[in-house]
Structure 1
Amino acid sequence: MSDLAASTISLLEELIRNACVGEGEVRNADTLERFFAGSGARVQRFEPEPGRVSIAFTVEGGPSEPLTLLGHTDVVAVDRPKWTVDPFAAEERDGRIYGRGATDMLYITAAMAAVTREVARAGKPSGTLTFVGCADEEARGGLGAGWLAEQNPAPFSWQNCLSEEGGSHLPVDGDALVVVVGEKGAAQRRLVVHGDAGHGSTPYGKELAVALIGEVAQRIAAIEPAVQRSDLWEGYVRAFRFDPATEHSLLDGHGYDSLGELARYSHAMSHLTIAPTVLRAGSSINVLPSTAWLELDIRPLPGQTQEEIDDMLREALGDLAPAVEIEHLITEDATVSTTDSSLYRAIVDTYAEFFPGAPVVPILSAGGSDLRFARRRGGVGYGFALHDRERTLGDVLDQLHSHDEYVDVRDVELTAQAYRSLVGRFLGV
């Protein structure tokens, strides 16, 4: 094992053990600062709220294009009874490192840090390299990359950015590697209805808020948005090299089961999705609640507007629409980066170094990442990592926020090597 891979794995294990679940990213920031001690990289800490620390390490370079690596240091919560290993022990077993955040995305964060430290020790690159350990990504970045982009964007460049998650393989004959070039947006909604308050023992003649919100939920769940044909969707489908009938069916938004483990992801990549996730009404069993609400996790595709989504909801509600208040929660447009950029070409060349002849397929993430903030500031952002041939896109997606989350040691090694190769290729160091 190379020194780069060994230092990446050691750092990954410490980041997992720090257990930065939704807060306390200061522990991982402190770990990273110790890791970079004596490297010569410039260190900057950002703390919008106590303990919510993001940290940047910059290697000043020449006048060529800069590169920024956006890792995140927070992880999601665990349901401990469902885990068969300690989620914060970073246990290595049978070639895998187990722990919350192992895949999402601490192995990439550790690889970014290890490569940046190596570059800092190697000398001046042709362009400036910055690695940022971002807080709060799992809560949409309001105290991390989002806060930096909006409140304090100057300390590093947003022009060319890399983050999670790419470099897994499509389950096709031969091979194909994916690179994430964009992500869906957010159109969170709360649908509120009102009924008649009263005693639970005398419901006769009352407008029941619970019954009304139940009908609202049924009508919303019945919405079937149309497929959105796009270059990304068509390129993704054609990469599987299905027979013409299956390909045509998929392009038109049907037959997702032919994609096997990728059916749910593929549907999300090609459709606006609407998921009822939270339902609230009442607080006491003997009181008729006067208010009830349903919350929706809605993910729009590029080009779909918030106004169009409200119109879709009203149309589905039909005659109930006048009785339903539509409140906007988090709303963000989808973002996509061009594949006509020097950084994207460097990614393609790097993949070819490790997997010669494998086509590279740009895809859209169904979830969110810190890269959207770079895109909003006019930069490009791509999800970049590298996995062994056996690791499919479905395998990686299944690890995100899962019980017994793990990352293969081989994938940690490959990702560190790939980042070193790409940084050297892009920055000449």
Structure 2
Amino acid sequence: MTLYDDTLALLRDLVRNACVNEYVPDSGHESRNAATLEEFFDDLPVDIQRFEPHPGRVSIAFTVPGSDPEAEPLTLLGHTDVVPVDEPHWSTDPFGAEIKDGRVYGRGTVDMLFITATMAAVTREVARQASVGNHPRGSLTFVALADEESRGGLGAGWLAEHEPHAFPWKNALSETGGSHLPVADGSDALVVVVGEKGAAQRRLHVTGEPGHGSTPFGRESTLVKLGEVARRLAAIQPEVSSSDIWQDYVRAFRFDPETEKALLDGSDPAAYEAFGPLAAYSHAMSRLTIAQTVAHAGSVINVLPSSGYIELDIRPLPRQTQEDVDEVLRRGLGDLADDVRIEHLISEDATVSPAEGPLYEAIVDTFEEFFPGVPVIPTLSAGGSDLRFARRLGGVGYGFALHARERTLDQVFAELHSHDEALYLEDLDLTVRAYQSLVQRFCGSGSGSAPRRP
């Protein structure tokens, strides 16, 4: 069997194991995918480490030691959990891994089991080479992580806190990248994810006067105040980013000068329509975003509630602090600010890696191999990934995969967590070959070159 065949077979097994993360500790059952991967690496010269912070929530690391302790290590961070499905909306078995019309269908095929399977297959091939004496110069570690879909508390986050030295975090790859931008003039551009926005979840509390619902006159209404808070929050317009990442992203689309200027200076919100299906993502990448997601007040119909709250999913950009977020909220609330108590929920600063250095250059060189002359555009993820833990531990982390020219960034986004999630087999083949090339380029072999530690 070819490396591609091995990867496809493994991908289908991982999908069929149905490691569904329902955002509670007793879900996920990633132990099933860990067992499949242990069997996949059976009888090969790899160091295996197994981590189980909660029963069934297993992360597992496979390391092929390098021959040169001075060579840069590479760590591939895949996750093995998937999000739940609404099965009546699927036209195929979401855990059947059915192949039809050049695609493999199943929950997790795109997010991110195709990359996880690729990482495993390429690492196994390096281990096979090592078994006959052709060791990589730099060590290669593949980690199959649990619990990524619920922010990694029983996966990468737990490892970063409790086992930070179990494997190197210095140079890491994970989801996703290698899709194409729909450039306005029809030319091409490839994206590489260099960072991700942070989290600044907030619960805003207000109070009013309680009483019987039959006598509301003269009482300060919690619900009315909550509604006014919601209105003022909706009117907040955070400033557009001045970062090189945002500016280079906009310029990569080759819009007309007027549209480009409006996007760069934030003068016309309607200009985001030029991005088409990428408008929402592009808007999120350009600024702090504030989404009102939960509102609560009262419990029974005949009682005036004394308190209520609104929950906000806020995503800050790199270099925006939690204090910056609170200041934006207070300014937006104006004279109501003193009447609102701001509670911090999940709060994590954004992380970003430089668009330079040995690993980034290896990514660019690999893209050039498959798509000669196509510019590479760094982007930020609006959501989270396990790469943020590598960056917080002092490493660099990039999203890496490779898609056919027809697969634009919005088309790849559309598959994430969708009904009938499916991966083009052509993209699996490209990703397998791209990972094989990049690992060889970065880790080298017994006779090849590899980046050296500074």
TM-score, structure 1 length as denominator?
0.97
Aligned to 1:202: 215
Distance of 1:202 and 1:148 partners within structure 2: 56
1:319 aligns with 2:319: no
Q: SS of 1:161's equivalent?
A: strand
1:428 aligns with 2:444: yes
Distance of 2:17 and 2:220 partners within structure 1: 51
Consecutive aligned runs of 4 or more in structure 1 exceeding 6 Å deviation: none
One-letter amino acid matched to 1:188: Q
Q: 1:360 offset after TM fit, Å?
A: 0.8
Deviations 1:172-208, CA, capped at 9 Å, x for gaps: 2231111001111111101111223333333333332
1:406 aligns with 2:422: yes
Deviations 1:256-305, CA, capped at 9 Å, x for gaps: 11111111111111111000111222333333332211111100001111
Decide whether aligned partners of structure 1 residues 286 and 33 sit closer, same or farther in structure 2, where only a CA change above 3 A counts: farther
1:190 aligns with 2:186: no
Distance of 1:385 and 1:328 partners within structure 2: 35
One-letter amino acid matched to 2:109: A
One-letter amino acid matched to 2:122: V
Matches within 5 A, 1:253-268: 253=266, 254=268, 255-268=271-284
One-letter amino acid matched to 1:202: T
In structure 1, list runs of 5 or more residues that go unmatched. Answer: none
TM-score, structure 2 length as denominator?
0.92
Deviations 1:355-412, CA, capped at 9 Å, x for gaps: 1111111111111111111111111100000000100011111111122211111111
1:45 aligns with 2:50: yes
Distance of 1:78 and 1:326 partners within structure 2: 34
Distance of 2:58 and 2:217 partners within structure 1: 55
Question: Mean alpha-carbon deviation: is it higher for 102-111 or for 85-94?
Answer: 85-94
Q: SS of 1:224's equivalent?
A: coil
Distance of 1:423 and 1:241 partners within structure 2: 33
1:232 aligns with 2:231: no
One-letter amino acid matched to 2:219: K
Deviations 1:124-175, CA, capped at 9 Å, x for gaps: 1001100001111111111111111111111100110000010001112231
One-letter amino acid matched to 2:227: G
Matches within 5 A, 1:90-239: 90-123=97-130, 124-172=135-183, 173-239=186-252
One-letter amino acid matched to 1:52: R
Distance of 2:323 and 2:177 partners within structure 1: 32
Distance of 2:85 and 2:136 partners within structure 1: 40
Q: SS of 1:76's equivalent?
A: coil
1:87 aligns with 2:94: yes
Distance of 1:101 and 1:40 partners within structure 2: 29
One-letter amino acid matched to 1:85: T
Distance of 1:325 and 1:397 partners within structure 2: 36
Deviations 1:66-101, CA, capped at 9 Å, x for gaps: 000000111112222332222222121211111111
Q: 1:237 offset after TM fit, Å?
A: 1.2
Q: SS of 1:168's equivalent?
A: strand
1:65 aligns with 2:72: yes
Aligned to 2:374: 358
Q: SS of 2:193's equivalent?
A: strand
Distance of 2:300 and 2:88 partners within structure 1: 30
Q: SS of 1:49's equivalent?
A: coil
Q: 1:347 offset after TM fit, Å?
A: 0.5
Question: Residue 288 of structure 1 is aligned with which of 297, 304, 309?
Answer: 304
Question: Residue 302 of structure 1 is aligned with which of 305, 308, 318?
Answer: 318
Distance of 1:311 and 1:89 partners within structure 2: 49
Aligned to 2:9: 10
Deviations 1:9-53, CA, capped at 9 Å, x for gaps: 111111112221212111111111111112221111111111111
One-letter amino acid matched to 2:297: A
Distance of 2:224 and 2:88 partners within structure 1: 35
The percentage of counterpart residues that share the same residue type is 67
In structure 2, list runs of 5 or more residues that go unmatched. Answer: 22-27, 446-454
The alignment of Structure 1 onto Structure 2 pairs a total of residues equal to: 428
Distance of 2:88 and 2:218 partners within structure 1: 46
Q: 1:214 offset after TM fit, Å?
A: 1.8
